[in-house]
A and B are shown apart, each in its own frame.
Chain A
Amino acid sequence: MNLRLGRFGLQESACAVGLGALISGIFAVDVRDTFAQGNLCYAATAAGALLSLLLLMLLGRAMARFQAEDLGGLLLDGFGPVRGAALGLPLVLGLVLAAGLPLFRFSLAMERYIFVEADYVPIVLYLLPVLLLLVLSGMETVARMAKILLIPGAVALITTLLLASPAFDSAHLFPLFSPGFSAFIDQTGEALFRFLPPGVALFIAGRGCQGRANTLGGVSRGLLLGGAGAFLLHLGLGLTFFAPDMASLSAPVYCMTMAARQERMALRLDVLALFLWVATGLVVAAFYTYAAALLLCRLLDVKDVRPVGALLVLQVVGAVLLFNFDSDMILDLVRCVYRQGHLLLLLPLGPLVVRSLLQRRRP
């Protein structure tokens, strides 16, 4: 067996989930569609984070009922090897897409604003070796990297908010809830795809987390922290731009730091903040990709995670390249991923939670 899971503690798991929630919560947003409807994102982010937390707590309870150490085991115990594997595949796909979305936004931001003369493909290819190295190093290293990057991630968040703060104007938030309650429900559903993956990924790697209590603790603390950070940033975005203006920006977070740029600053902190986000995003993408590879190994009884992980890294990078294709079909596909991606995760998790609620606790 070479699953490279290792052992990691509560701090590392909370950091991994927290960074995942922060990065996905901020960067896995379909800017054009979401903001075209008006400024609801910050409220939907908070609601989505809390709803995800509730779902993940139910999933934790299901694991306790089945006495499963990880999500792969829970799927196999709950549905048997064939149905369990079939239900696990959408989870794998969901995690791969969740890993690709932030990297897509970062690559796009770098292409549009930093390397204006460079092509999109070489920029993405720079990320490939690091992602591969992270995934092949295993979960212990990924969790440690998450802990190391927690402070830079927090610095990036605070720097971004501080840089944009001179441009904050509460008038930008009005009209409040303009698109209506149904849009709020839609956006909350979409937000599930941003906040469920980190928790699901930790549940998949739960065996290395030294107990279910640690796993649950990591998920809840991480999601609350990351969700709060994502909420603050979306609120900052709402305070900086009018929603229709924001819909036309390809990288609103980067543009937010530019909105009130100090001309005579010693360092261009906006660019440095972007690269801190990129580094953090790479760890988050590795976290999801490794979890997807581990789940696949668990479901298909593969003994070595490295070839599966390498294959999934190539798929993530392929997806990031594909997302930028200038074709209507791809645009529709990307839009579908943003809007319906959460269904890939809810499809296997929903029946699992329902079944566990109906099942009596194992002696």
Chain B
Amino acid sequence: MKILDTIGRKLRFDEPDGRFELLETERGEPSFFHGQKSRPTPQTPDYRAVPKSLKESLRRLEGAFFGEINTDLILRDFRFCGAVNALAAFLNGMADGTEISDFILKRAMECPLPQGGGELADYALREVFSLQEAEKTDRWAQVEAAILEGRTAVLLEGAREAVLLDTRGYACRGVGTAENESTVVGPREAFHENLRISITLLRRIVRRADLVCEFRDIGSKNNVKLALCYLGGVCSESLLLEVKKRLDQVQTDLLLSAGTLGQRIEDRPWSPVPQTLLTERPDRAAAAVMAGKVVILVEGSPQALILPVTLSALLLTPEDSYLRRPAGSILRFVRLFGAAVSVLMPAYFLALAYHHQGLLSSDILSTVVASRKLVFLPMGAEMVFLLLVFQLVREAGVRVPGTVGQTVGIIGGLILGQAAVSANFVSTVALIIVALTGLGNFVIPNYDLQIAVAGYRVALCLLALSGGLLGLSCGIMAVLVLLADQKSFGVPFLAPYAPKTVVRELLFFRGDVQGQGRPHDDMNGEAAL
């Protein structure tokens, strides 16, 4: 009977029973081909309390921070009120030395002992230290985390609580301009590596009481601080829960930027198109917050992560809204046309030239034939080669600094192109098509999407080469299916067009500014059903 059940279940493609499986090693199961699927070592949370003995605190700090060899950790002992042994612990360079001298050490040494006993930590917090942000804690883990952030921990002999004082004062640059998302009109400011400054930049635009900035620590040991910014009551509760769930699942010791975080919480890591939007512009992040999206700011990263994201959001720029409606619509139309040219033009040309010459007029056909008279490469190879060279020039231009990058672009674009045509390496027609394709690629505002489009372009070229317009149609359909199937944090990637949401704005034309500025949940599909 059991055997029949098993066979029946297999034939019906039932889900397997949730049986316990003994893994070959404790570190995880081996992968199909080779190697080991890495599994993060589980971290035990530190539930230790702050010890009463100053000696024990000192021992713990020196152990945790490798005090003997780590000269960054400053452990300054002094006598609190001239009577109680105390210790101020902070990281050199992360904390402001003047603040520590003037508002912690000086005041602690000069203050009188409290009358009638009582908790020393309470007394120090209320009457001694005159810093604006201060708190006490009885958890040892918070003491270590605070020191790592640049705060100063004051530990007192016999006290069960430590006092944490905000003395963060590390060197950082001023607020810069947005270099990668530049606009002709509109604000110029860009986000900052300092989380506080970035939040301030956001709050300066969204001056609402319901703008929530939730602070969270990410990572098992590194404790990178990030802020989850959203409009309470507007942002979908289920979206927030999903974002928090995914953030809690991030187990890493190294999180360098918001981009890395985005990769760790997105739905499909192998999808060519981005599923989160990285922006350096506070105005763009503010617009996203007002549209019910979640913005994540990461300490040390001058970009904000906007989620969920849709294709239309990736193709729009803040400038569309700053310009008047006709101008904004024209810009948007030109951008979408450029994107379409960038994806389709080389493949369409190859399909016509290889398989459907009858679709080209005799004038165009004779021009193509004349331009290719002495070119020895086949047209398909020539086109793919030129597309790769274009990516090469572009990548070289990005990697080398400032003016040299522009020079690389000029050398690559003009001299190399001209030389290639003269040497009968490529034809002028192919060069023109690739140049137009490159221009179209540059009007796509999102860098991730530009790279994805470059990949799709080559794939479509190969399909057009093999199957003409049929191959191209099938390729376009496959790309569309992949886009339609994709979701970013539960929101369909092609929303608000398919499926429809409450957004009334058309993709091709900019909407009326009268409707903008009111907070709304942009991706809410239920109201639109």
Given A115, A141, A268, A302, which contacts B484 in the complex, CB threshold below 8 Å? A141
A70 at the interface (CB under 8 A from B): no
Evaluate contact between B477 and A130: CB separation under 8 angstroms.
Answer: yes
With A210-B529, A271-B359, A303-B14 known as contacts, the answer to whether A9 contacts B500 (CB < 8 A) is yes
Q: Which stretch (B275-283, B374-382, B466-474) binds chain A? A: B466-474
Tell me if B356 and A278 are in contact (CB < 8 A): no
B468 close to A145 (CB less than 8 A): no
Contacting A at CB under 8 A, from B460-499, are 467-474, 476-478, 480-482, 484-485, 492, 494, 497-499
| Cα distance, A275 to B361, chains bound together (Å) | 19
| Smallest Cβ-Cβ distance to A133: which chain B residue | B481
Contact, CB under 8 Å: B470 / A279:
no
CB within 8 Å for A147 and B473 given contacts A115-B355, A141-B484 = no
B529 touches A268 (CB 8 A): no
Q: Would B474 and A127 count as touching, CB distance under 8 A?
A: yes
Kindly list chain A residues whose C-beta atoms are within 8 Å of the C-beta of B15: 1, 303
Q: How far is the CB of B499 from chain A (nearest CB, A)?
A: 6
Query: Contact residue range for chain A?
Result: 35 or more
A134 within 8 A of B: yes
Q: Does B12 reach chain A (CB closer than 8 Å)?
A: yes
B14's closest neighbor in chain A, by CB? A303
Give, as a whole number of angstroms, the nearest-CB distance from B83 to chain A. Answer: 70
Across the interface, name the chain A residue whose C-beta is closest to B359: A268
Instruction: Contact check, A144 vs B498: say whether CB atoms are below 8 A apart.
Output: yes
Shortest distance from the beta carbon of B102 to any chain A beta carbon, whole Å: 61
Interface flags, B349-376, vs A, CB<8A=1, else 0: 0000001101101000000000000000
Q: Is the CB of A12 within 8 A of B473?
A: no
B529 / chain A contacts, CB cutoff of 8 Å: 9-10, 210, 214
Contacting pair B361 A130 (CB below 8 A): no
Q: Report B-chain residues with C-beta under 8 Å of the C-beta of A362.
A: none
Q: Which residues of B contact A148 (CB under 8 A)?
A: 480, 484, 494, 497-498
CA distance A23 to B196 in the complex (A): 58
Binary flags per residue of A125-148, CB closer than 8 Å to B gives 1, else 0: 011011001100110110011011
Q: Is the Cβ of A145 less than 8 Å from the Cβ of B480?
A: yes
B13 at the interface (CB under 8 A from A): yes
A interface footprint on B187-228 (CB within 8 Å = 1, 0 otherwise): 000000000000000000000000000000000000000000
Query: Does residue A340 face the partner (Cβ distance < 8 Å to B)?
Result: no
Say yes or no: is B300 at the interface (Cβ < 8 Å to chain A).
no
In the assembled complex, the Cα of A213 lies from the Cα of B499 at a distance in Å of 18
- Contact residues in A for B511 (Cβ distance below 8 Å): none
Dominant secondary structure of chain A at its interface with chain B: helix
B359 adjacent to A129 (CB under 8 Å)? no
Q: Does B272 contact A (CB under 8 A)?
A: no
Interface residue tally for chain B (C-beta within 8 Å): 34
A33 to chain B, nearest CB (A): 28
CA distance A300 to B361 in the complex (A): 56
Complex contact A137–B361 (CB within 8 A): no
Interface check A123, CB cutoff 8 A: yes
Residue in B14, B470, B478 whose beta carbon sits within 8 Å of that of A133 in the complex: B478
Contact B492 A303 (CB under 8 A): no
The answer, yes or no, to whether B528 is at the interface (CB within 8 Å) is yes
Q: Are A8 and B499 in contact (CB under 8 A)?
A: yes
* Residue A267 interfacial (CB < 8 Å): yes
Q: Which of B468, B478, B484, B485 contacts A130 (CB 8 A)?
A: B478
A279 touching B12 by the CB < 8 A rule? no
* B497 contacts across to A, CB distance below 8 A: 147-148
Q: Which interface residue of B358, B498, B529 has the most chain A CB atoms within 10 A?
A: B498
Q: Is the CB of B478 within 8 A of A129?
A: yes
Per the bound structure, the CA–CA distance linking A227 and B335 in Å amounts to 36
- In the complex, are the beta carbons of B359 and A279 less than 8 A apart? no
Asked if A179 CB lies within 8 Å of chain B CBs, one says no
0 or 1 for each of A40-78: is its CB under 8 Å from B? (1 = yes) = 000000000000000000000000000000000000000
> Using Cβ atoms and an 8 Å threshold, which residues of chain A touch B358?
268
* Given known contacts A110-B470, A114-B356, A144-B498, A301 and B12 CB-to-CB distance under 8 angstroms: yes
Distance of A264 Cα from B360 Cα, bound (Å): 10
Q: Which residues of B contact A137 (CB under 8 A)?
A: 481, 484-485
The answer to whether B356 touches A141, judged by C-beta atoms less than 8 angstroms apart, is no
A145-B484, A147-B499, A266-B361 known; A307-B473 Cβ under 8 A: no
Contact of A282 with B by CB under 8 A: yes
Contacts of A11 in B (CB 8 A): 499-500
Q: Decide yes or no whether B67 CB sits under 8 A from chain A.
A: no
Structural contact, B494 and A279, CB atoms closer than 8 A:
no
Instruction: Contact check, A264 vs B361: say whether CB atoms are below 8 A apart.
Output: yes
In the assembly, what is the distance between CA of A282 and CA of B469, in Å?
A: 15
Complex interface residues of chain A between 286 and 308 (CB less than 8 A to chain B): 300-304, 307
> Per a CB cutoff under 8 Å, which of B13, B470, B525 touches A123?
B470
Q: B468 and A115: CB pair below 8 A?
A: yes
Residue contact A144 to B499, C-beta cutoff 8 Å: yes
Point out the residues of chain A lying under 8 angstroms from B474, CB to CB: 126-127, 129-130, 282
Q: Report the separation of the CA atoms of residues A104 and B444 in the bound assembly, to the nearest whole angstrom.
A: 39
In contact, B499 and A302 (Cβ under 8 angstroms): no
Q: How long is the Cα–Cα vector from A218 to B468 in the complex, in angstroms?
A: 36
Among A129, A140, A145, A302, which residue has the most Cβ atoms of chain B within 10 A? A145
B residues near A134, Cβ cutoff 8 Å: 477, 481
* A12 & B13 in contact (Cβ 8 Å cutoff): no
Binary B-proximity of A1-30 (CB < 8 A = 1, otherwise 0): 100000011111000000000000000000
> Which of A137, A275, A301, A302 has most chain B Cβ within 10 Å?
A275
Interface residues of B in 47-69 (CB under 8 A from A): none
Contact B498 A147 (CB under 8 A): yes
| Alpha-carbon separation in the docked complex, A301 to B8 (Å) | 11
CA distance A226 to B519 in the complex (A): 38
CA distance A140 to B498 in the complex (A): 10
Q: Which residues of chain B are near A127, meaning CB under 8 Å?
A: 474
A133 to B529, CA, bound (A): 27
A282 touching B485 in the complex, CB below 8 Å, given contacts A9-B499, A9-B525, A11-B499 = no
- What residue of chain B has the Cβ atom nearest to residue A15's Cβ? B498
Partner of B473, one of A1, A115, A278, A304: A278
B429-469: contact bitstring with A at CB < 8 Å (1 yes, 0 no)? 00000000000000000000000000000000000000111
Which residues B271-303 have CB closer than 8 A to chain A?
none
Taken together as a complex, chains A and B put the C-alpha atoms of A126 and B468 apart, in Å, by 11
Q: Which residue of A lies closest to B11 (CB)?
A: A302
Given the complex, which residues of B lie within 8 Å of A133, measured CB to CB? 478, 481-482
Give chain A interface residues in 253-288, CB to chain B under 8 Å. 264, 266-268, 271-272, 275, 278-279, 282-283
| Chain B residues within 8 Å of A129, by CB | 474, 478
- Whether A141 lies near B499 (C-beta < 8 A) is no
Q: Among the listed B356, B467, B473, B485, which residue makes an inter-chain contact with A279, where contact means beta carbons less than 8 Å apart?
A: B473
- Complex alpha-carbon distance, A279 and B500, angstroms: 22
- Are B13 and A302 in contact (CB-based, < 8 A)? yes
Interface contact B356-A271, CB-CB below 8 Å: yes
In the complex, what distance in Å separates the CA atom of A205 from the CA atom of B518? 37
CB distance from A152 to the nearest CB of B (A): 10
- Kindly state the separation between the CA atoms of A279 and B358 in the bound complex, as whole angstroms: 22
How many Å lie between the Cα of A282 and that of B14 in the bound state? 30
State whether A126 and B470 are in contact (beta carbons under 8 Å apart), knowing that A148-B480, A279-B476, A304-B13 are contacts in the complex. yes
Top 9 A-B pairs ranked by shortest CB distance? A304-B13, A144-B498, A268-B359, A144-B484, A147-B498, A141-B485, A137-B485, A275-B473, A9-B529
What would be 17 A-B contacts, judged by CB atoms less than 8 Å apart? A9-B525, A11-B499, A12-B498, A12-B499, A130-B481, A134-B481, A141-B481, A141-B485, A145-B480, A148-B484, A148-B494, A266-B361, A271-B356, A275-B469, A275-B473, A301-B12, A304-B13
6 more A-B residue pairs beyond the given contacts A114-B356, A138-B485, with a C-beta to C-beta distance below 8 A: A123-B470, A148-B497, A266-B361, A272-B469, A278-B470, A304-B13
Interface residues of B (CB under 8 A from A): 12-15, 355-356, 358-359, 361, 467-474, 476-478, 480-482, 484-485, 492, 494, 497-500, 525, 528-529
